[in-house]
Amino acid sequence: MTISVDTTTPYGLNMNMIQSSSRSSSKASKLNDSCRNMEALFIQNMLKEMRATIPKNGLLSGGNAESLFTSMLDAEMAKSLSAAGGIGLSSVIENQLDALKKQ
């Protein structure tokens, strides 16, 4: 015995199609977020390496507290830079992953 369920709305929309569309858009959103996070990590490491090139002398060296503060500052700057459009790395990564997914 099979039960047939009408999944169309009064406006003729198929609910199964709507649900699968929302699932795919949520997957795209997750992919976009992951790519932005990857870009933020790249920017954070770039800032860390740039900061390491600054010579330390006795007057400006703040010890462990300064290194902890600058690492947190770099992480937050990287997040805000990535959220504001970043350096374009997230879109490149996302395009590459989309191309791999379609193969």
Question: In this predicted model, what pLDDT tens digit does every residue of 7-48 receive, in sequence order?
Answer: 555 444 454 544 444 556 788 889 999 999 999 999 999 999
The residues spanned by each domain of the chain are: 30-102
- For 18-32, the DSSP string reads HHHHHHHHHHHHHHH
CA 64 to chain centre: 29
Q: Is the pTM of this model over 0.95?
A: no
Contact (Cβ atoms closer than 8 angstroms) between residue 81 and residue 43 = yes
Backbone torsion region of residue 12, taken as left when φ is above 0, otherwise alpha when ψ lies between -120 and 50, otherwise beta:
left
Distance CA 58, CA 50 (A): 20
Contact (Cβ atoms closer than 8 angstroms) between residue 86 and residue 38 = no
Strand partners, 8: 14
Question: In this predicted model, what pLDDT tens digit does every residue of 48-91 receive, in sequence order?
Answer: 999 989 887 777 677 888 889 999 999 999 999 998 988 999 99
Tokens of 6: 């009408």
